[in-house]
Amino acid sequence: MFKRLGAELFGTFWLVFGGCGSAILAAAYPELGIGFAGVALAFGLTVLTMAYAVGHISGGHFNPAVTLGLWAGGRFKCGEVIPYIIAQVIGGLLAGAALYLIASGKAGFDATASGFASNGYGDHSPDHYSLQAVVIAELILTAFFLLIIMGVTDKAAAAGFAPLAIGLALTLIHLISVPVSNTSVNPARSTGVALFQGTWAIEQLWVFWLVPLAGGVIGGLIYRLFFSKAQ
């Protein structure tokens, strides 16, 4: 269990450090910025690489919504949900701290003013989408993320390709929703940077816990009820 929790911590650290780091440090770099598409690809690559690296140890969740969704889908033990989520949140916070230390090395950096890659709605949505729009997007995208994860990790699925499919799915999710909410679908990712933004990101953080967790459960239940071969 210690190794599994360590794998979840390091995997979530890499997801937040790589994904949010690309947004904070490289997205708007003068003339050579990677933009939304680059950030989306970065998030997908973090999951893909760590799923191959440590997925065989912990299952490669790196996301409380995935852990809860897999439990709802009958793929994960109830008693291990909380320890996994704690490890994931710690990994996200450590990544946020590392990014803060790096970004603070640039003159004029202000995590509060920049948003620090935090998720938000209303005035704090990248394109000023409403709370309702953000809730719908995060719910649907997280549910489909779980459907994809459960499908590609099913015993009947082609072996060895699950991390690739999951990484590409997360890339697509970001391509869709970065303008809407800056894309969460992962409470640990949201928490890891919100605490360093320090103001509105903390006030709006409840949305990026409640909605992805609900979406994860919905996706897990849908797969379990309608697509699992055991049914």
Higher pLDDT, 32 or 178: 178
- Confidence band of 30 (pLDDT split at 50, 70, 90): low
Q: How much is the pLDDT for 230?
A: 55
Residue-wise pLDDT for 68-77, tens only, equals 999 999 999 9
Mean pLDDT confidence for 54-60: 95
Domains of the chain: 1-227 (1.20.1080.10)
List, in order, residues 6 or more apart from 121 with CB less than 8 Å away: 129, 130, 131, 133, 134, 181, 204, 207
Per the listing, tokens 């996200």 go with 92
Q: Which two tokens stand for residue 216?
A: 């994860």
Q: Which two tokens stand for residue 191?
A: 């928490």
- Confidence band of 28 (pLDDT split at 50, 70, 90): confident
pTM of this structure: 0.95
- Confidence band of 231 (pLDDT split at 50, 70, 90): very low
Residue-wise pLDDT for 178-212, tens only, equals 999 999 999 999 999 999 999 999 999 999 999 99
Contact 63, 12 (CB under 8 A): yes
